[in-house]
A = this chain, B = another copy of it.
């Protein structure tokens, strides 16, 4: 288990370093992240390097048992680099150039900038390749942050080259994208534009291809640096820090290039639980993009975050609770951001563990308590896997397609994922996120809201999944388009029509007029209350599917709104409108019961449950509320945090309290 913080020794007097090292050791730290934005300190002019100060602090910390996650500092190129190579400055799609003076003022495809990167990364790699205190490397920082993509000439050219690797010919591309629309047929590769500002919009197929291209650009920029480190003799693991639900990069694809996943976690809502669901979804995604492998959080919120203004809060108990949430969902490392609040620069109000004054404070005490607890937990807990039997399809390609064309005012991809995910969390089951390339065979249930794009080889896999007994639940706008973002020519839901046993003849974007469509449930589902559909209403004809609910409003009154098709030995559900928890909670519980998945522990509201399967099954119990809670213990077990033996029956939880049962 790696435990520690981001540390910027260059921000503090040399005389302070020793005290910092001692305080870290006393808090149970074994890891710090360093050098992240220290390029000018390390290379004050071209080819002149200064590693002395960093050697000193790496050694000082190492002698205190604190090892270093070393960073390449390329996210903040120095002024002298920009002066030398101004063509490296990136452009927004509307033509605005990003100037020097913040960070990330570079285009990742610019050759002259990459020359500078090669020099500094190579020098660092060679210098620290043999250093036993350097246990891993982070490349750059938060690709895509502040600006998803650059739209300069270099990027447009790279896009044209990349497309040649994706399509056999220009004819194939023209055909796949439907460029006959608005006379956009390309007669030469160099006519294809980056999606820069127009007075209308670019072809949705091109827009989707651009996002896929840029995932490859960022991955390529990562690999470019990782290769330099390897060539310099670096042998320890290499990574870069991801950003959870950040939508600019397909992290499933990107993570393939990383040795392990690290990410930055800012669950800024205090007091919880304003939205702890999103926090957990972040964790589940970061675990799932690398096939369930444990991750490190390299920036775990330890104070109120803010740039110009502070937009979050903290308070006693919050940091510890969120740290355990991070671990419960698959973490094997937690580094807080940051050790100490910075006195200058843009992040003066992005608070660290210590305040600007550097005195030990309540946050330091809380972190030190966690350090002590971690040291006492069994080692296998941190590398244990999440035993999920339910999968939620969460795909960046889908998210992009929905961003490009959000269908109706108020619609968003996350807004369609969350009601299902929240119902699953409330049911206490573990959830893996999957995308179109994932292996579905290990799951019993797959929920795939607004699964719009169906790659040609995916339909067969999902059909087989149901045939073999799996439960599938799709919602409106599923199976509408092919992988190039083009609508199927066959009736909807395209290649899943037989599986679902329905045809979607038409639809009504009721969200455009903020209309709620009433539903009549057949009695099959244990839905009480009277949930109504919003945003969208599909006009469905059943071709064999059982009708679980019909519309009671609109010109399609009486027509199916929710259907289930019995296919093979499984079930395929289709939900033709947007619904919230009033539907999703009973629906999810129904599906779980149908698949005979175990019911979770009984507990008070606001208590979150997650499991990790190591040598034993570890059950994390997190009370998200500022009041006491309880949980019903089914059989005698141990609370690993306190060593307490818990007897069957009701056990109390403190406000923001955590128990780990084994």
- Leading 5 A-B pairs by shortest Cβ distance: A178-B344, A181-B345, A79-B191, A102-B200, A102-B198
What residue of chain B has the Cβ atom nearest to residue A16's Cβ? Answer: B489
Interface residue stretch chosen among A92-100, A218-226, A231-239, A276-284: A92-100
B11 touches A178 (CB 8 A): yes
Q: What chain B residues lie within 8 Å of A508 (beta carbons)?
A: 304, 313, 315
Q: Is A310 an interface residue (CB 8 A)?
A: yes
Looking at the complex, which one of B185, B486, B510 makes contact with A343 (CB distance below 8 Å)?
Answer: B486
Q: A102-B199, A308-B405, A554-B315 are in contact. Are A180 and B506 (CB under 8 A)?
A: no
Q: Which of A249-295 contact B (CB under 8 A)?
A: none
Looking at the complex, which one of B98, B184, B505, B506 makes contact with A79 (CB distance below 8 Å)?
Answer: B184
A346 touches B203 (CB 8 A): yes
Q: Is A456 an interface residue (CB 8 A)?
A: no
Q: When each residue 306-331 of chain A gets 1 if its CB lies under 8 Å from chain B and 0 otherwise, what string results?
A: 11111111011000000000000000
Give the one of A90, A183, A411 with max B CB within 10 A. Answer: A183
Cα of A198 to Cα of B73 in the assembled complex, Å? 19
A349 touches B105 (CB 8 A): no
Q: Is A384 an interface residue (CB 8 A)?
A: no
A181 touches B344 (CB 8 A): yes
Q: A98-B198, A345-B178, A406-B309 are in contact. Are A355 and B40 (CB under 8 A)?
A: no
Cα of A45 to Cα of B102 in the assembled complex, Å? 45
Minimum CB–CB distance for A662 against chain B, Å: 31
B315 touches A555 (CB 8 A): yes
Q: Which of A431-473 contact B (CB under 8 A)?
A: none
B407 touches A310 (CB 8 A): yes
Cα of A281 to Cα of B37 in the assembled complex, Å? 45
Cα of A146 to Cα of B487 in the assembled complex, Å? 25
Q: What chain B residues lie within 8 Å of A312 (beta carbons)?
A: 509, 512
Minimum CB–CB distance for A51 against chain B, Å: 15
Give the one of A83, A90, A101, A184 with max B CB within 10 A. Answer: A101
Q: Is A516 an interface residue (CB 8 A)?
A: no
Q: What chain B residues lie within 8 Å of A182 (beta carbons)?
A: 37, 76, 102-103, 345-346
Q: A79-B184, A308-B201 are in contact. Are A343 and B101 (CB under 8 A)?
A: no
A313 touches B512 (CB 8 A): yes
Q: What copy number does this chain have within its complex?
A: 3
Q: Is A190 an interface residue (CB 8 A)?
A: yes
Q: Is A359 an interface residue (CB 8 A)?
A: yes
Additional A-B contact list (4), CB under 8 Å, known A309-B512, A344-B487: A78-B187, A83-B190, A307-B405, A344-B485
Q: What chain B residues lie within 8 Å of A167 (beta carbons)?
A: none
Minimum CB–CB distance for A371 against chain B, Å: 21
Q: What chain B residues lie within 8 Å of A197 (beta carbons)?
A: 96-99
Q: Which of A159-197 contact B (CB under 8 A)?
A: 177-188, 190-193, 195-197
Q: A95-B97, A197-B98 are in contact. Are A41 and B180 (CB under 8 A)?
A: yes
Minimum CB–CB distance for A214 against chain B, Å: 15
Q: Is the interface of A mostly helix, strand, loop or mixed?
A: loop
B310 touches A509 (CB 8 A): yes
Interface size on A, residues (CB 8 A): 113
Give the one of A94, A102, A489 with max B CB within 10 A. Answer: A102
What residue of chain B has the Cβ atom nearest to residue A39's Cβ? Answer: B183
A198 touches B37 (CB 8 A): no
Q: Is A415 an interface residue (CB 8 A)?
A: no
Q: Is A115 an interface residue (CB 8 A)?
A: no
B487 touches A204 (CB 8 A): no
Cα of A102 to Cα of B201 in the assembled complex, Å? 5
Cross-chain pairs A/B with CB under 8 angstroms, 30 sampled: A8-B180, A11-B180, A37-B181, A40-B183, A40-B184, A40-B187, A79-B187, A79-B192, A94-B96, A95-B96, A100-B191, A103-B200, A105-B199, A146-B200, A180-B345, A181-B344, A182-B346, A202-B346, A204-B348, A306-B408, A307-B405, A308-B406, A309-B509, A310-B509, A311-B408, A343-B487, A343-B488, A355-B505, A355-B506, A361-B506
Minimum CB–CB distance for A422 against chain B, Å: 21
Q: What chain B residues lie within 8 Å of A349 (beta carbons)?
A: 405, 407
Q: A73-B183, A76-B184, A105-B198 are in contact. Are A486 and B357 (CB under 8 A)?
A: no
B44 touches A187 (CB 8 A): yes
B555 touches A316 (CB 8 A): yes
Minimum CB–CB distance for A207 against chain B, Å: 9
Q: Which of A530-585 contact B (CB under 8 A)?
A: 554-555
B201 touches A346 (CB 8 A): yes
Give the one of A38, A191, A341, A359 with max B CB within 10 A. Answer: A191
Minimum CB–CB distance for A19 against chain B, Å: 13
Q: What chain B residues lie within 8 Å of A602 (beta carbons)?
A: none
Cα of A510 to Cα of B40 in the assembled complex, Å? 37
What residue of chain B has the Cβ atom nearest to residue A193's Cβ? Answer: B101
Q: Is A490 an interface residue (CB 8 A)?
A: yes
What residue of chain B has the Cβ atom nearest to residue A78's Cβ? Answer: B183
What residue of chain B has the Cβ atom nearest to residue A344's Cβ? Answer: B178
Cα of A409 to Cα of B304 in the assembled complex, Å? 14
Q: What chain B residues lie within 8 Å of A102 (beta carbons)?
A: 182, 198-202
Minimum CB–CB distance for A349 against chain B, Å: 7
A146 touches B199 (CB 8 A): yes
Q: What chain B residues lie within 8 Å of A490 (beta carbons)?
A: 357
Minimum CB–CB distance for A41 against chain B, Å: 7
Cα of A202 to Cα of B309 in the assembled complex, Å? 14
Q: Is A586 an interface residue (CB 8 A)?
A: no
Q: Is A528 an interface residue (CB 8 A)?
A: no
Minimum CB–CB distance for A580 against chain B, Å: 20
Q: What chain B residues lie within 8 Å of A555 (beta carbons)?
A: 315-316
Q: What chain B residues lie within 8 Å of A10 (beta carbons)?
A: 180
Minimum CB–CB distance for A62 against chain B, Å: 22
Cα of A348 to Cα of B484 in the assembled complex, Å? 13
Q: What chain B residues lie within 8 Å of A488 (beta carbons)?
A: 343, 356-357
Q: Is A661 an interface residue (CB 8 A)?
A: no
Cα of A79 to Cα of B194 in the assembled complex, Å? 13
